[in-house]
Amino acid sequence: MPDDRYFLSLSCRNRPGIVAAVARCLFEAGGNIQEAHQHDDIETGMFFARIGFNFVNGDDLETLRTRFADVAASFDMNWTMRSVSQPLRVLVLVSRFDHCLSDILYRWRIGELNMSIAGIVANYPRETYPHHDFNGTPFDYLPVTRENKAEQEEKLWSIIEERQVDLVILARYMQVLSPELARRLEGRCINIHHSFLPGFKGAKPYHQAHERGVKLIGATAHYVTSDLDEGPIIEQDVERVTHHDTPETLVRKGRDIERRVLARALAWHLDGRVLLNGRKTVVFKD
Amino acid sequence: MPDDRYFLSLSCRNRPGIVAAVARCLFEAGGNIQEAHQHDDIETGMFFARIGFNFVNGDDLETLRTRFADVAASFDMNWTMRSVSQPLRVLVLVSRFDHCLSDILYRWRIGELNMSIAGIVANYPRETYPHHDFNGTPFDYLPVTRENKAEQEEKLWSIIEERQVDLVILARYMQVLSPELARRLEGRCINIHHSFLPGFKGAKPYHQAHERGVKLIGATAHYVTSDLDEGPIIEQDVERVTHHDTPETLVRKGRDIERRVLARALAWHLDGRVLLNGRKTVVFKD
Amino acid sequence: MPDDRYFLSLSCRNRPGIVAAVARCLFEAGGNIQEAHQHDDIETGMFFARIGFNFVNGDDLETLRTRFADVAASFDMNWTMRSVSQPLRVLVLVSRFDHCLSDILYRWRIGELNMSIAGIVANYPRETYPHHDFNGTPFDYLPVTRENKAEQEEKLWSIIEERQVDLVILARYMQVLSPELARRLEGRCINIHHSFLPGFKGAKPYHQAHERGVKLIGATAHYVTSDLDEGPIIEQDVERVTHHDTPETLVRKGRDIERRVLARALAWHLDGRVLLNGRKTVVFKD
Amino acid sequence: MPDDRYFLSLSCRNRPGIVAAVARCLFEAGGNIQEAHQHDDIETGMFFARIGFNFVNGDDLETLRTRFADVAASFDMNWTMRSVSQPLRVLVLVSRFDHCLSDILYRWRIGELNMSIAGIVANYPRETYPHHDFNGTPFDYLPVTRENKAEQEEKLWSIIEERQVDLVILARYMQVLSPELARRLEGRCINIHHSFLPGFKGAKPYHQAHERGVKLIGATAHYVTSDLDEGPIIEQDVERVTHHDTPETLVRKGRDIERRVLARALAWHLDGRVLLNGRKTVVFKD
C-alpha cells in the first residue's frame, strides 16, 4: 500500500541546527512528518528525537536512508529508520506464572503488538501451559539449575542468534541472567519486576510490600542490565491496596499491573519509542 | 539575563515542509530549539506545534519575529511568539466558594503560575474572603441579579478592556456568562466545571453524580463558549468515591479535583501549551 | 477442609439492634466473624451488610441458616448465606470482540474467579474464536437479527433455565436485550459499557468521546435493566488520553479498561460483595 | 444538638464474640450504629474496629463509657470513644516551604479538618510567611542548629505539654526529631515525606527520583518513629512524570501530591480512622 508509515529514532549531542537539518532532509526526499517528539537532556547535553513520517510521492526508503546517513554522520548520531510494518522478532522467556505470556500472546494475535514471535523459552515443560495455543511458535524447555545455568544460557544465546531475535522479553521469568548475557542483550531485553522500583528489589516483592505496609503496590518494566533490578526504567504503574490485603491478594492484584506495564513497555519499544539515555530512558509515548 | 526562554505556538493547514521551514528560520536567526511538540490532526488536516527555544548568541526576538512573519504568511499560520518571562494578565472571577481562588493565589505567590493578576471580581462582597491577602490586587464586587446582569457584564467588560486582560478565569464563578460575552472571550476564558463532562452538565453536578451512583467523580477545565458546558476541554481528572459518600462528601472531595484541574489548565494556557482545534484542544503538556 | 469460609449478605430497613442481633446469632452458632462491612443509606433508610465468617468448632451451616432465618424475619431482611467455595454458575455472552471473554477465561482458569462456566453464547460462530480453548464448556451460536430476536432470546432463556445459570455476563455482547429479558435477569446480568457513564451512552462511545475531545476515557460495569445504559453501576475506571488519540487508539486503550472493570465487577458479584440499592449499588470491596 | 455523632475505635486480640459484645453494649445504651469498619489481621491475630454511632433517645456518653469499660476490660482492648465534634489539638511544625501549612490552614478554615490549632512552630521567622493569616494562633520561632537542637526540642516539648497537644504535624519540617522525642510522640506525630517510600529515603528524594529515572513520583504520610522514614505508613499517592521533568519540576509536581496525601492522613487521624498495627496501620477510610 502506498501510504506505509515509517519512523526515524535518533540521539546525538545537542547543538543548534539538528531539527532543521533532519526536517530538510526528510522534506527534500519527499517525506511528510506525521508525528514528532524530541527531548533535550540539559544535564547530559544529549538530544533525542523520534519522527513518524510517510512519503508524499511514492515510497523510497533506500534513497532517504542514503541521504540521511550523511546528515547523521555530520551530527554523529545513533539512529534507526524503519517501516512500522516491519515487525521486530521477539523471544519470550517465561516461568511457571503465565499471565504476562498469556496477555502478550492475546495482544499479538489481535494485532496490538507490531512483532513476530521468534519463540517461547520456558524453564517449565510445555504441559505447564496446556490451554495456550502457541500457533506453531517454537517452544523450548530449558530448565535451569545452579549447575547447568551457563550451559542453558549458551543454548538460549544460540536461539537468539539463529532466529535473529531483536528483543527478549522476561515475562515473569524467574531466573536472573548472568552478567555476561545481560551485557550482550543490553537495550534489547525487557524485564517486568513486580514492584514499584526502587522499592522492594529482589525476591518476593509483594511479601516485602505487605511487610512494610505500603498503601499502593506497583510494577516496573525495565531494560535488563548486569545490575539486578537497576536497569533503565521504561514504564511503571501502581494500584491502591489496603490493610485487608494479604501477600496472596497482592499477588493477584499485582498480576493486572504487571501485564499492563509490560504490554505498554513492549509496544513502545516495538515502535521505536524508547531511547536509552544512560541509566534512564526517553519514552515518546503514543 | 542572556538565556531568556521563548516559545512559538502555531497552527495551520498541514502540508509537507512546515517543520523544515520553521526549524530553518529559527536556526538562521540564532535560535536553539529546547523543546518541541507537534500534532497532525488527520481528520481536519490541521497542523499544530509549540517550540520552546532560546538564543545562542544574544537575544534578538524582534529580528526573528520579522523573519518568521514571512514563513508564517507562506503557510497561512495562526501564531504567537513570546518570552516565557512576559506574563499574561489574568482576571479571576469568583463566587462564594473560594478554594480555587485560594489555590491560584498561593501558586501565583510561590511562582508556579507565569501571570500577573489584573484583578479579582466577585459577586460576593470583599468581607466574604476575610483571610485572603490580595496584596493590593484590585477587588471588584459585582453582584449579579436577573435585572442587572447586562449592566454588570458591561462593567466586567470595561475592566477587561481597561486592564488589558489576556485571560479570564471562572474560578467556581456561579454565573453563566451571556452568549455575547462568551463569544467576546472566545479562547481566553477558562471555566472549571465540577463534573467529568459530558456527564452531569448544569447545576448541582455532585448531587446528580450521587443520584446516579457513579464510582468516580471528576472535574473539567474548558474554554467558555456560548454553549453551556460544551466548550473545548483542556483538562479533566477524577477520584474514586464509594457508596458511603453523600452529596456533601462529594463536594468536599471534589474541591481537591477542581483546584488541581484548574491549576493545570491555567498553567498550560499561560505557557502557550493549549491550542484550539475547533471544538477540541491540543495540549502540549510540560 | 474444616476451615471453610462463608459469607452472609443482607439488606433491610435500618433500625437499632441489627448488628447486635446478627452478631449474637453468629456467635451462638459457633461462627467467627473474619470480615465485616456495613452501610447505612441515610436517604433511603436502608441498611446493608456483608459478613465473612468461619466456624470455630466444626461447620454447621444448616443449623446457622435455620437460626438466622428467625433473625432475618424479625428485621424483614433480604439475605444470602453461602460457602465461598460454592461457585455461581455463569453464562458468558459475547460478540466478535473477545478481549473480555479471553480475560475472563484466563482469570477463571487460574482460580481468580469463584465460578463455574455454564456456557458461552455468541452471535458469531465458533470459528470466530479459533485460539480459545473452551475446555469442553458448551458453546452456543445464536445469531440475532431483527426478525429472530424474540426467538433467539427464548433459546437463551431456555439455556439459562436448564443450566441453572446464576449470572449472565454481557462480555461486549453487542446486542441490546429486550426489556422482558432484562427484567427477568434483574440483578443477575452484568454488562460492560465502553464509556464512563453517564457520558456517551449508546453506540460507538469511543467515537463520541473522540468527537467531544475528552482527556480521559472510561468503562462502566453495571447491572442490566430495561433502560439502556442506565442500570445500577458496579464499577468504573478511566485512563488518560491525548489529542494524538484517534477513535482506533481509543478502542485499543479502552480494551484494557473494559476488561479490568468487568473482571472486578464480576469477582465482587461472585463473592456476594455487590448489593442492589434501588438504582445504585453498595459494593463491599475486598 | 441532639444528633451528635460519636465514634469508638478499638483493637484487641481476636476471639469470637467481640462484635456481638460491642454491638449489644451499644444497643442497650441506646446507641445506633451508623458506620462500622473492622479488620482481622490473620498474621498477628489482632482485631481492629471503628464504629460511628449516635444516640436514639438523648445522648448519654458517660453512661455508655462506663458500661463499655467492662466490655473492653473483658477483651483487654485498647479503645477510644469520643464525640466527632470534640476536636483534637494540633501543633503544626514547618520550615521554609509552606505549601502543606497553607493547605492545612485553608482546609481547617472551611471546616474540612476536625481540629483546633494549638500553634505553629517554625525554624524560620514569622516574616517568612507574610501572606498567611494565622488568626491569632500562637507562632513560635524555634531555629534549630546542631548545637541548640536538644534545647529547642525541650522548648517544643514544653509547648506540646502546656497546650495539651494531641497531634504534631511535620508539614515539611526539614528537621529530624531526636529518637527520644520521636518515642515520646509515638502514634501522635505525622510526617509527610516527599517520596513513595520505601523508595528514596532521606534527603533530596526528588533529586534521587530524577537520577533513577522513575516514571511516577509520590509522597508518603507516616507516623514518626525513631527510625527515619520507617514509621507506619498512613497514606501514599503518586503522579506520572516524564523524561522532560527536571528535579525542579518534580519538586513542583510533588507539592500537589504532598499536600493531598498529608491532608488525607490528617483528616483520617482526626476522625479516629487510623489504628496502629505494629509497624503498619489500619486505615478505615471515609
pLDDT higher than threshold 70 for residue A3:
no
Domain-located, residue B1 = no
Is residue A36 within 8 Å of residue A51, measured between CB atoms? yes
Neighbouring subunits of A (3+ Cβ pairs under 8 A): B, C, D
Concatenated DSSP letters of chain D? -TT--EEEEEEEE--TTHHHHHHHHHHHTTEEEEEEEEEEETTTTEEEEEEEEEESSS--HHHHHHHHHHHHHHHT-EEEEEETTSPEEEEEEE-S--HHHHHHHHHHHTT-S-EEEEEEEESS-GGGSTT---TT--EEE----TTTHHHHHHHHHHHHHHTT-SEEEESS--SPPPHHHHHHTTTSEEEEESS-TTSS-SS-HHHHHHHHT-SEEEEEEEE--SSTT-SPEEEEEEEE--TT--HHHHHHHHHHHHHHHHHHHHHHHHTT-EEEETTEEEE---
Identify the residue whose cell numbers are 496472596: A248
User: Do D216 and D140 reside in the same domain of the chain?
Assistant: yes
Lowest mean pLDDT among B82-86, B146-150, B233-237: B82-86
How buried is residue B20: exposed, middle or buried, by Cβ count under 10 Å (0-12/13-18/19+)? buried
Three-class secondary structure of residue B57 per DSSP? coil
A24 to chain B, any CB pair closer than 8 A? The answer is yes
Q: Which of A102, A131, A286 sits opposite C249 (nearest CB)?
A: A286
**CATH number for the domain harbouring residue A49:** 3.30.70.260
Chain D hits for A238, CB-CB cut-off 8 Å, are 216, 238
d(CA A41, CA A39): 6
C91-118 confidence digits (pLDDT tens): 999 999 999 999 999 999 999 999 999 9
Domain-located, residue B163 = yes
pLDDT of residue D2: 45
- Mean pLDDT for B96-121 is 96
Q: Which of B112, B130, B133 sits opposite D131 (nearest CB)?
A: B133
Three-class secondary structure of residue C8 per DSSP? strand
Lowest mean pLDDT among A30-34, B197-201, C217-221, D195-199: A30-34
Q: Among this protein's residues, is A229 annotated catalytic?
A: yes
Domain final position from B83, B118, B136: B83
For chain B, percent of residues with pLDDT exceeding 90: 89
- Mean pLDDT for D83-92 is 94
Domain-located, residue D1 = no
User: Do C123 and C222 reside in the same domain of the chain?
Assistant: yes
**CATH number for the domain harbouring residue A240:** 3.40.50.170
pLDDT of residue B85: 84
D280 to chain A, any CB pair closer than 8 A? The answer is yes
Cβ pairs A/D, distance under 8 A: 83
The letter for the amino acid at C30 is G
pLDDT higher than threshold 90 for residue B56:
no
Domain-located, residue D155 = yes
A63-83 confidence digits (pLDDT tens): 999 999 999 999 999 999 999
User: Do A182 and A213 reside in the same domain of the chain?
Assistant: yes
Q: How far is CA A212 from CA A200, B64, D279, in A?
A: 10, 57, 7
Which position has the higher pLDDT, D87 or B134?
D87
Which stretch of DSSP H or E encloses residue B149?
Answer: helix B149-162
Band of residue C3 on the pLDDT scale cut at 50, 70, 90: low
Domain final position from A83, A99, A127: A83
D27 to chain C, any CB pair closer than 8 A? The answer is yes
pLDDT of residue A2: 45
The mean pLDDT of chain D is 95
Chain D hits for C17, CB-CB cut-off 8 Å, are 27
User: Do B79 and B98 reside in the same domain of the chain?
Assistant: no
Domain-located, residue A230 = yes
pLDDT higher than threshold 90 for residue D118:
yes
pLDDT of residue D131: 87
C215 to chain B, any CB pair closer than 8 A? The answer is yes
Long-range contacts of C239-244 (CB under 8 A, 24+ apart): C240/C215, C240/C216, C241/C209, C241/C214, C241/C215, C241/C216, C241/C217, C242/B283, C242/C215, C243/B39, C243/B41, C243/B48, C243/B277, C243/B280, C243/B281, C243/B282, C243/B283, C243/C213, C244/A35, C244/A286, C244/B39
User: Do C133 and C26 reside in the same domain of the chain?
Assistant: no
Is residue A139 within 8 Å of residue A65, measured between CB atoms? no
| Distance of residue A81 Cα from the nearest chain C Cα, in angstroms | 22
Show the domain range for C67.
Answer: 6-83
For chain A, percent of residues with pLDDT exceeding 70: 99
How buried is residue C110: exposed, middle or buried, by Cβ count under 10 Å (0-12/13-18/19+)? middle
C196 to chain B, any CB pair closer than 8 A? The answer is yes
pTM score: 0.96
d(CA C164, CA C142): 19
User: Do C268 and C157 reside in the same domain of the chain?
Assistant: yes
pLDDT of residue A216: 98
C17 to chain D, any CB pair closer than 8 A? The answer is yes
pLDDT higher than threshold 50 for residue B215:
yes
> Would you call B38 and A40 a contact, using CB atoms and an 8 Å cutoff?
no
Residue of D103, D229, D245, D271 marked catalytic: D229
Domain final position from C59, C83, C107: C83
Chain B hits for C216, CB-CB cut-off 8 Å, are 196, 218, 236-238
User: Do A14 and A97 reside in the same domain of the chain?
Assistant: no
pLDDT higher than threshold 90 for residue C228:
no
Domain count, chain D: 2
User: Do D159 and D208 reside in the same domain of the chain?
Assistant: yes
| Distance of residue C110 Cα from the nearest chain A Cα, in angstroms | 9
Residue of C98, C229, C245, C271 marked catalytic: C229
pLDDT of residue C85: 84
C residues 138-157 closer than 8 Å to B (CB): none
Domain-located, residue A1 = no
Residue of B nearest to C278 (CA): B213
Domain-located, residue C1 = no
Phi/psi at D283 (5° precision):
-120, 110
Q: Which string of b and e fits C2-28 if b means at least 16 CB within 10 Å?
A: eeeebbbbbbbebebbbbbbbbbbbbe
d(CA B224, CA B170): 9
pLDDT higher than threshold 50 for residue A1:
no
Neighbouring subunits of B (3+ Cβ pairs under 8 A): A, C, D
Identify the residue whose cell numbers are 516495538: A270
| Nearest to C222, CA basis, from C213, C211, C232 | C232
User: Do B24 and B148 reside in the same domain of the chain?
Assistant: no
B82 beta partners: B7
> Would you call D110 and B131 a contact, using CB atoms and an 8 Å cutoff?
no
For chain C, percent of residues with pLDDT exceeding 90: 89
User: Do D166 and D203 reside in the same domain of the chain?
Assistant: yes
pLDDT higher than threshold 90 for residue C60:
no
Active site residues of B: 229
Chain A hits for D212, CB-CB cut-off 8 Å, are 197-198, 233, 279-280
CA C66, distance to chain mean position in Å, is: 28
User: Do D71 and D130 reside in the same domain of the chain?
Assistant: no
Domain-located, residue C144 = yes
**Helix (H), strand (E) counts: chain B:** 7, 13
Q: Which of A102, A130, A263 sits opposite C106 (nearest CB)?
A: A102
C71 to chain D, any CB pair closer than 8 A? The answer is no
pLDDT of residue D223: 98
User: Do B10 and B109 reside in the same domain of the chain?
Assistant: no
Which position has the higher pLDDT, C273 or D84?
C273
